[in-house]
Amino acid sequence: MEARLDAPTVDLLAVLAYGELTAFERLASDARLAPSVADKVALATMAAAEFDHFRRLRDHLAAAGVDPEAAMEPFVRPLDTFHDSTEPNDWLEGLIKAYVGDGLATDFYREVAGSLRDDRARALVLDVLADTGQAQFVVDRVTEAIRAQPAVAGRLALWGRRLVGEALIQAQMVAVDRDALTELLVGRGGLGGITGLLNHLTDNHSARMAAMGLQA
């Protein structure tokens, strides 16, 4: 029997778990848009990795005596809404969503995980976040597409901006609703800490867009 987890830890593991589960199902769906079998396999491989992360987070919650489904429930609506409002229209939009969405989520969770009191939970979160590594595939594909057809860059830049906007809207809904999670954030240095986090997220987002040849 493991030690009980405090409320912020349960919330963080649960929102990350449901985030990985929905990322899995959306990435796997988007694999249908792939122009070749090799591209399909690449996106499906990313999706399968997200499912593995989900499984590890869920098992950690369950081993600590927490009902994973009940813990994930408060995050179902904001995460589903995010995905419903950012359904990719084509393969490139799907790729960019995978890269930008994953990047934003990783930056955000990594910061918040720093405030977790539970060492094993923190280590698990950081370990799950470290295991991505398909980013180069996305950067290569998007860069090639823009080189072949420069006119798409404007639309894709807008798409990237929309992804961030929708993510921030849903993050704010969660913050209003989940005091435990918000405390983790504020505990990192009060409101000044939140401003710092937002600047950090925005800078990294701009760097990712630039890597694909897109304006943030």
Site of interaction with a second copy (CB under 8 A): 18, 21, 24-25, 28-29, 31-32, 36-38, 40-41, 44, 47-48, 51-52, 54-55, 58, 69, 72-73, 76
Cβ of residue 200: shortest distance to a second copy, in angstroms?
A: 31
The two three-digit tokens of residue 109, written as one number? 């969770």
d(CA 94, CA 133): 17
Q: In the complex with a second copy, which residue's Cβ is closer, 18 or 99? A: 18
Planar angle of CA 145, 150, 154, nearest 5 degrees: 100
CB of 101 to a second copy, least distance (A): 16
Class of residue 71 by CB neighbours under 10 A (exposed 0-12, middle 13-18, buried 19+): buried
H helices within the chain, ranges in order? Answer: 7-30, 37-63, 68-84, 91-113, 119-130, 135-148, 152-177, 179-187, 190-211
CB of 76 to a second copy, least distance (A): 6
Residue 78 CB, shortest distance to a second copy, in Å, is: 14
Q: Using the minimum distance from each CB to a second copy, give the nearer residue, 31 or 116.
A: 31
Smaller CB separation from a second copy, 131 or 203: 131
Shortest separation between residue 161's beta carbon and a second copy, angstroms: 25
Count CB-CB contacts under 10 A for residue 175.
15
Q: Are 96 and 27 in contact (CB under 8 A)?
A: no
- Chain centroid, CA 66 distance in Å: 23
Nearer to a second copy, 36 or 133 (CB): 36
Nearest to a second copy of 65, 190 (CB atom): 65
